[in-house]
């Protein structure tokens, strides 16, 4: 249970970092990057990336709930 909880929190922290780190790079076509570094992403791709990371985090939180010890 603990390993799933830790994994879920790491994925959640990654999603929050992506959300906070979204920086506007270019207009027409609109492009975003993470903290002005690396690759540029379209708004759809960037949002899908954040949603994918949140889905993985939710999956690990569900695993945490399913594998908890019951008294």
pLDDT tens string 14-63? 999 999 999 999 988 999 999 998 899 999 999 999 999 999 999 999 99
Determine how β-strand 22-26 pairs with β-strand 37-41. unpaired
- Those residues whose C-beta lies under 8 Å from the C-beta of residue 40, and which sit 6 or more positions away, are 25, 26, 31, 32, 33
Contact 15, 53 (CB under 8 A): yes
pLDDT of residue 32: 95
Contact 15, 50 (CB under 8 A): yes
pLDDT of residue 47: 96
Domain boundaries, the chain: 2-66
Radius of gyration of the chain (CA): 16
């Amino acid at each position: 249970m603990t390993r799933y909880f830790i994994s879920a929190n790491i994925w959640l922290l990654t999603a929050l970092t992506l959300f906070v780190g979204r920086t506007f790079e270019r207009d027409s076509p609109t492009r975003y990057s993470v903290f002005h570094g690396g690759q540029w992403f379209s708004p759809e791709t960037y949002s899908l990336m954040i949603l994918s990371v949140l889905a993985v985090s939710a999956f690990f939180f569900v695993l945490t709930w399913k594998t908890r010890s019951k008294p």
